[in-house]
A and B are shown apart, each in its own frame.
Chain A
Amino acid sequence: DIQMTQSPSSLSASVGDRVTITCRASQSISSYLNWYQQKPGKAPKLLIYAASSLQSGVPSRFSGSGSGTDFTLTISSLQPEDFATYYCQQSYSTPEFGPGTKVDIK
């Protein structure tokens, strides 16, 4: 099984901040990495697929990078609606989600 880890597990940030979340796979997954945003009481929303492709309708302040085992999700200028939990998910083999990173207000 491929294990996914994320860091940090939580962070506090202010509106306008640049935020970076890291996801690491226990073995190489090429670019088979997706990012989701989840707000309390809501279903996850796909943000980024294939490590760096922006899902249709997602603001351009979200970006993804990486390949192999190390990946990042960057929010260039945090907006009030971005406070949420973010999950990475590998789709190289049996899908596995990371443990999540909660972004809250500083």
Chain B
Amino acid sequence: QITLKESGPTLVKPTQTLTLTCTFSGFSLSTSGVGVGWIRQPPGKALEWLALIYWNDDKRYSPSLKSRLTITKDTSKNQVVLTMTNMDPVDTATYYCAHRPRGYSLLFDYWGQGTLVTVSS
């Protein structure tokens, strides 16, 4: 079965760079059409899509955050890494990674449990 799990720091200081890792199993990111995305959710607020990487290394970013985001993959390790620069307290949120299935539009059918990242000095 497909599982995903996020890992990274729980606390970062303002202006620092956040690096999150999504480790997954049950699928391969070398399979045509498959992707892994990142979505975040500030406490008590709605979901916000951040980035997506496809099996062929094609990358998509939220236009509003594009300048601060980088998404990469390590197919051999079954990992996807998201970096976000210049962190601010408003970036405090639970960050999720999720599986984008092949053959569908950009939706997410399996999600990690999420990791809460707090931005504070």
Residues of A within 8 A of B (CB): 1, 32, 34, 36, 38, 42-46, 49-50, 55, 87, 89, 91-92, 94-100
Contact = CB atoms under 8 A, between A and B. Distances in A.
Contacts of A36: 47
Given A46-B109, A50-B105, A94 B60 contact: yes
B74 interface: no
Contact of B109 (A1, A55, A94, A96): A55
Nearest to B64: A1
B49 A96 contact: yes
Nearest to B106: A91
Number of contact residues on B: which range applies? 20 to 34
Contact of A95 (B106, B109, B114): B106
A50 B101 CA distance: 13
Given A94-B62, A94-B63, A34 B49 contact: no
B112 A43 contact: yes
Name the prevailing secondary structure of the B interface residues.
loop
Contacts of B104: 49-50, 91
24 contacts: A1-B63, A32-B105, A34-B107, A38-B47, A43-B111, A44-B108, A44-B111, A45-B111, A46-B107, A49-B107, A50-B104, A50-B105, A89-B47, A89-B49, A89-B107, A91-B105, A91-B107, A94-B63, A95-B37, A95-B106, A97-B39, A99-B46, A100-B46, A100-B47
A55 B96 CA distance: 20
